[in-house]
Structure 1
Amino acid sequence: MSASKLQEKEVRIGHSLNKKEEEFVIKRRETVFQSLQKLNIPCSQDAVPHIALLGSGGGQRAMVGLLGSLVQLDKAGLLDCILYLSGVSGSTWCMASLYQEPDWSTKLETVKDRIVERIKGPQVSLTDAMAKLKKYYYGKDFFSLTDLWAAVVVTAYVKEIDEHTLTDQWDHKNPFPIYTVIDKQCKQSIKEKDPWFEISPHEAGYSLTGAFVETCNFGSQFDNGSKKKHQPEMDMLYLQALCGSALADGKEIKKFLLEKIKEFFKHLLPTIQTEMFEEMRKVCSCLFSSKDPKAPPVEKCFQVLMDLMDMNLSVLNVKDPSALDQSIRTTLNKLGGGKHQLIFPIEKLNLADKQAAKRYMKQHTEDVCNNLMKLYGHWFVQCIKNEPMARQRSCMSLWRRSPPKPAKACQSLETRDYEDAGLLLNSPFFSVLRKERNTDLIISLDFSKSDPFTTVKQTAEMCKKLKIPFPEVNIPSEDLEKPKDFYVFKGQNAPTVIHIPLFNVVNCGDDIKTWRKKYHTFQDSYSAEKITDLMEVAGKNISNNREKLKEQIAAAVGKKAHN
């Protein structure tokens, strides 16, 4: 296929950088060059290193930790040395807040104060969250748990509904932002080796495969590489939910989400919009007009949902849910005139067998929701069902005839499911390990909740299998429980990796476990005091190691000049 024909296509298959990113790199290298001069690091313009800063996942801990780290990088005169800023999960919440402000890196102290003032303030009202959820439902082809996660959970931490888009928020004076998720189908497939999916201001696509669409078209429908149906670009609230959809282990995330849904619906009952009641009653009237002139009370549906969520929580906490089960069955039986019966008897539930109990509750929950759907036919019932976290149209569909080919799964399915990259690797290494980005130095900020070396060790193992240059990672056994604040890994023909654990023996002394417990992943949004303390601890990892960072930057310059 000729180059002109390829340009006509809206799906780009290739490993080169997007033209606009190439243009940015040229301009940003000049900024980096000037910064190196100020730091008295000798460097020619040809030897300017490509430095990437990575923020791991970790919920609000990662959001605040990254902000504190960036503030200190700025004070140390090192922020302008950064070419790429890439994040996973909670770190993307910080990024989204920063990039709202044009040229934020030139006035970071002011921007930081605004962000802190917001996240320590009041939460988004549930009325506003409900209105946003309605917009998602009526404005998109696909509605999933990510929409609910965005409106109910993410807003509880970021304290705002950000309806800007990524393409809106781009400014050339800041490091180049890369948000990362993974492709669920590729992750689950043994044959596929590229689940890594990146979203930048210009393109969204598979980092290693080399298959991209313009970010403004991500989620639209494509056929043979050409757009057939446009879907509006996702807003930043949804993007933050997409990137940060798995903050902890499965059991805790279910408990947290169920509690949030309960809180949401309890507020929804007295404040729900009149037109929504009317819509539900119209549906119910059609269903019951022959036998009952009155539609089933909406309040009864809410009661079933409350009981269902309490039942799920009881099973997760290994408590007998029989009374809740009986309440659900009785209510559904009355609403359905005896016709709506649940399939799974409570006798099948075995609390002693956790896996069996999990399977039972999944079946039972779907059964209850299917009954409610028959009665009410309304969207909010779908939120309780086990829907995919985030579903988008497959932008790579039907590119089977044009080499190089995308992953096989991407060619054959109409839709793809994307999820938090932390479910596979809690740091966005693979976004900056793309060969064409020529990364010389990676600064890895690790905000993980437990083992701070998991991300860098996993990356080394994965790179070895994929034959991607990456330094060997060896951690002294004594450091596993008592990590230091600065590690450097080097290898031939591979980027240098600096790895910085958030909590370590330098900034926390012997209280590492205490700090981890204080800032565990699933908890209410941080108080002003906790935000200040965490920013200070994260900032020390930069201020205490300013000279070491300069040394490694200078070494990267020397290595590049030599090569």
Structure 2
Amino acid sequence: MSASKPQESGEVRFGHSLNKEEEFVARRSNTVLQCLQKFKIRCSQDAVPNIALLGSGGGQRAMVGLLGSLVQLDKAGLLDCILYLSGVSGSTWCMASLYQEPDWSTKLETVKDQIIKRLNGPEVRWTDTLAKLKKYYYEKDHFSLTDVWAVMLVASYVKKIDDCKLSDQWDQFSKDPLPIYTVIDKQSKQREEGDPWFEISPHEAGYSLIGAFVGTSSFGSQFKNKMKKQDEIDMLYLQGNKICWRTALECIIICNTNLQCILEETLCSCLFNVFPSKDPHSPPIDECYQVLLKLVNMNLDVLKGTDPSACDQSIRTTLTDLSGGQRQLIHQLEKLNDDKAAGKKAAKQYVMQYTVDVCNYLELKLNFWSICRCIAQWIWGRHYNFLHNMTDDAVPRALLESETRDYIDARVLLNSPYFSVLRKERDIDLIISLDFSDGDPFMTVTQTAETCKKLKIPFPEVNIPSEDVKKPKGFYVFKGKNAPTVIHIPLFNVVNSGDKIDAWRKKYGTSQVPYSAEMIAELMQVSGKNFAINRAKLLEQIRVVAEAKYFQAQARQI
């Protein structure tokens, strides 16, 4: 029977139990049971193993890599073993595309072709892009850089503006793994208080470890006396929440390619059209446009450690002209410059304040400068805090006192969604971790092991030979007492990439512009090899955890 969609009562749920609507698990378990029986694995209705598949971050590399992995897992006959599918960052781009199609796992080859056709197709029209950005701007209480990033960058990668809502897909998952999207609570991460791990499913959104949740359709609304309803976040925004602005700036510096053109030429000029000023005395558009470009370049100069004085002087000259020769603001900026201490950290603080002051000055004349303020103040993923002024002894006070929270890309803390499936209530027996990270291919699993040890969460011990960091194998298994078995699969390894691992990593970098059709096909094939080659090993580990759970259930009945 299909789970009914809950009423939008705006109630906050405290507790570690699963949402009552996650009865989906029982329905999906029937699919898992039938799959295991096809392989003659001993299993019973009351002891079906709970298996979770995790996709790490990694931009379009993760999106295409996860898709290729799932396609090959399906060909191996093992996709129906998966109970949960959880992702962060680029992996969620793939998930969002898959779950647009009800029961996608039963027709994955067709769905895969549709996704690849879209990725190889035309860009999203600028008229649609600007209309979406304008909608975000005017309809949200909290407009942030996540909105800009989702519309301007993510849509250009996935070639689609996805207006679907996650809760709208409530009744579509009768035959698919349950999707869980993971983000990080920025304030909890920075202050090391509360719970940074935040999960969003079709049922509810909330803090995985402390146990505080709200219905997904109400996430982002203000819970103060009577609930102030905000529109539910759509899938485009949810995908936009999966990449860090710092990464964007690094891409500009390292690559100096299309991303800089988007930021400097397209974004800036479009903002004038999206958010036109209603003030007849507004300063000339061209001059303001140049100020914005110089502000961007000045921030980049400081980030690169180069001299920003040329941009500084140009901005001062333009602002003096715009103010009719008045130098009050300029004197203020010069004072900041005089007080600036030596060192890169001080320079960053200075240029941030500088940007805020310039934006505050021009905001009186131009509506769009609120976006510039978001840039200067680094506002990402801001929402009303549904725990504000709530009362619960199990929830850290810091989470109850703030009116808003900022939810950011999980990769800034851990580039894999382990903690969404490590909730005790989900009773996971086997985790299949697909690592699409750049850099150390074992950082996600080693960091998870260390964090679990501190938090006393059952997790197997992880020991990686030093030589494997540069030359990883294609299949790792970690086991521990009373802990889930963890299978870790690096995307590029000595099995599917031979001695060209570094070349593959370089070719498919996170900062790479949208992949060509040839690159997508090649990466699909390489990622799929990890399951084609290791099918027997994976099946054996599934057999081990399934039969162990079966015999434990039999022993309890005696």
Same fold (TM over 0.5): yes
Aligned residues of 1:213 and 1:395 also touching (Cα < 8 A)? yes
Mapping of residues 153-302 of structure 1, within 5 Å? 153-170=153-170, 171=172, 172-192=174-194, 194-223=195-224, 228-245=227-244, 248=247, 251-252=250-251, 259-265=261-267, 267-268=269-270, 272=273, 276-277=275-276, 280=277, 282-285=278-281, 295-302=282-289
Moved more, 323-332 or 210-219: 323-332
Shift of 1:198: 0.2
| Cα distance in 1, alignment partners of residues 312 and 280 from structure 2 | 24
Unaligned runs of at least 5 residues, structure 1:
1-6, 286-294
Partner of 2:83: 83
Aligned residues of 2:61 and 2:90 also touching (Cα < 8 A)? yes
| Cα distance in 1, alignment partners of residues 58 and 226 from structure 2 | 36
| Cα distance in 2, alignment partners of residues 249 and 503 from structure 1 | 24
Counterpart code for 2:411: G
| Cα distance in 1, alignment partners of residues 491 and 439 from structure 2 | 10
Moved more, 301-310 or 515-524: 301-310
Partner of 1:341: 329
| Cα distance in 2, alignment partners of residues 332 and 505 from structure 1 | 57
Partner of 1:424: 413
Partner of 1:292: none
Change (3 A) 1:311 1:188: closer
Partner of 1:147: 147
Q: Is 1:453 aligned to 2:442, yes or no?
A: yes
Partner of 2:494: 505
Q: Give deviations 1:26-77, integer Å, cap 9, x for gaps.
A: 1001000111112222222222100000000111110110000000011001
> SS in structure 1 opposite 2:505?
helix
Q: Give deviations 1:184-221, integer Å, cap 9, x for gaps.
A: 111122343x2100000010000011100000000011
| Cα distance in 2, alignment partners of residues 253 and 455 from structure 1 | 26
Partner of 2:431: 442
Q: Give deviations 1:227-263, integer Å, cap 9, x for gaps.
A: 5211110111001111333573874478887653213
> SS in structure 2 opposite 1:213?
strand
Aligned residues of 1:126 and 1:267 also touching (Cα < 8 A)? no
| Cα distance in 2, alignment partners of residues 536 and 466 from structure 1 | 38
Change (3 A) 1:349 1:160: farther
Q: Is 1:480 aligned to 2:479, yes or no?
A: no
Change (3 A) 1:222 1:178: same
Change (3 A) 1:360 1:79: same
| Cα distance in 1, alignment partners of residues 140 and 248 from structure 2 | 29
Shift of 1:522: 0.8
| Cα distance in 1, alignment partners of residues 144 and 205 from structure 2 | 20
Change (3 A) 1:64 1:84: same
| Cα distance in 2, alignment partners of residues 462 and 553 from structure 1 | 26
User: CA RMSD for the aligned pairs?
Assistant: 2.3
Partner of 2:290: 303
Shift of 1:20: 1.1
Structure-1-length-normalised TM-score: 0.90
| Cα distance in 2, alignment partners of residues 349 and 132 from structure 1 | 42
Shift of 1:121: 2.3
Mapping of residues 285-434 of structure 1, within 5 Å? 285=281, 295-339=282-326, 341-342=329-330, 343-345=332-334, 353-378=343-368, 379-400=370-391, 402-403=392-393, 405-434=394-423
Q: Is 1:540 aligned to 2:553, yes or no?
A: no
Change (3 A) 1:220 1:241: same
| Cα distance in 2, alignment partners of residues 220 and 522 from structure 1 | 34
> SS in structure 1 opposite 2:415?
coil
> SS in structure 1 opposite 2:161?
coil
| Cα distance in 2, alignment partners of residues 398 and 264 from structure 1 | 42
| Cα distance in 2, alignment partners of residues 239 and 190 from structure 1 | 24
Aligned residues of 2:55 and 2:417 also touching (Cα < 8 A)? yes
Aligned residues of 2:353 and 2:376 also touching (Cα < 8 A)? no
Q: Give deviations 1:266-313, integer Å, cap 9, x for gaps.
A: 5527x926xx54xx1x3353xxxxxxxxx4212221121112212223
| Cα distance in 2, alignment partners of residues 439 and 310 from structure 1 | 48
Partner of 2:119: 119
> SS in structure 2 opposite 1:86?
strand
| Cα distance in 1, alignment partners of residues 246 and 107 from structure 2 | 30
> SS in structure 1 opposite 2:63?
helix
Aligned residues of 1:126 and 1:268 also touching (Cα < 8 A)? no
Unaligned runs of at least 5 residues, structure 2:
1-7, 553-558
Partner of 2:4: none
| Cα distance in 1, alignment partners of residues 313 and 192 from structure 2 | 43
Counterpart code for 1:128: D
Q: Percent identity?
A: 62
Moved more, 86-95 or 338-347: 338-347
Aligned residues of 1:219 and 1:233 also touching (Cα < 8 A)? yes
Aligned residues of 1:180 and 1:428 also touching (Cα < 8 A)? yes
| Cα distance in 1, alignment partners of residues 374 and 383 from structure 2 | 17
Counterpart code for 1:188: Q
> SS in structure 2 opposite 1:177?
strand
Change (3 A) 1:20 1:532: same
| Cα distance in 2, alignment partners of residues 177 and 145 from structure 1 | 25
Shift of 1:314: 3.2
Number of positions where the alignment pairs a residue of Structure 1 with one of Structure 2: 536
| Cα distance in 1, alignment partners of residues 498 and 46 from structure 2 | 42
Partner of 2:18: 17
Shift of 1:222: 1.1
Aligned residues of 1:315 and 1:351 also touching (Cα < 8 A)? no
Q: Is 1:489 aligned to 2:478, yes or no?
A: yes
Shift of 1:377: 4.1
> SS in structure 1 opposite 2:324?
coil
Q: Is 1:549 aligned to 2:545, yes or no?
A: no
Shift of 1:544: 0.5
Aligned residues of 1:349 and 1:356 also touching (Cα < 8 A)? no
Aligned residues of 1:443 and 1:498 also touching (Cα < 8 A)? yes
Q: Give deviations 1:65-96, integer Å, cap 9, x for gaps.
A: 00000000110011010000000111011000
Aligned residues of 2:435 and 2:488 also touching (Cα < 8 A)? yes
| Cα distance in 2, alignment partners of residues 77 and 507 from structure 1 | 21
> SS in structure 1 opposite 2:181?
strand
Counterpart code for 1:388: I
